[in-house]
Amino acid sequence: ILSVSCKKTNISSCCDGNPQVATIDSCVIAMPDIFTPNGDGINDMLFVLHRNIATIHLTVSKKFGKKVFETTDIATGWDGNIEGKEAREKEFSYTLDATTINGASLSLSGSVCIIRDNCAKGPVENCFFQSQFTGYAFDPTLLGESIENCE
């Protein structure tokens, strides 16, 4: 029997029910507010979801400003590690600037939480996982990860 210990991560600060999406014409960027780098192959990486985007600049930082990840490669995601070590379960901030194939600019900023456990304080149904974005629009009928509300 496999026993899973629950740490009851508090995710209420970044799962506020507002998916981060920016659009102009047929160009879209979107960011989930939670990812789960726990090695199960589901939502293990934080990627920029995009359509008709030419360039990006994504920066992820700790709450007080220390940069932990940065990329200008649209195919590169963050694995939840900082300097080769697993980041703790908590909230990080991000800024995302993109240029569309037509030369227009799009920007997003917000919060993203790392969850490595299967147990969370707060309403998990408000969290937006990468797998819930279909065609770069949010589809609330899709589930991202088996995370329970274990208050």
Q: Which is nearest to 58 in space by CA: 93, 102, 19, 90?
A: 93
Identify the pLDDT of residue 151.
62
Which amino acid is located at 43 in the chain? N
Q: Which amino acid is at 46?
A: L
Amino acid, res. 111: S
pLDDT of residue 120: 79
Q: Which residue positions in the chain have pLDDT lower than 50?
A: 1-3
Question: Residue 66 corresponds to which tokens in the numbers above?
Answer: 């220390």
The pTM of this model reads 0.88
Cα–Cα distance for residue pair 33/35, rounded to 1 Å: 7
The predicted structure's pLDDT at residue 1:
37
SS3 55: strand
pLDDT at 4: 52
SS3 (DSSP) at 104: coil
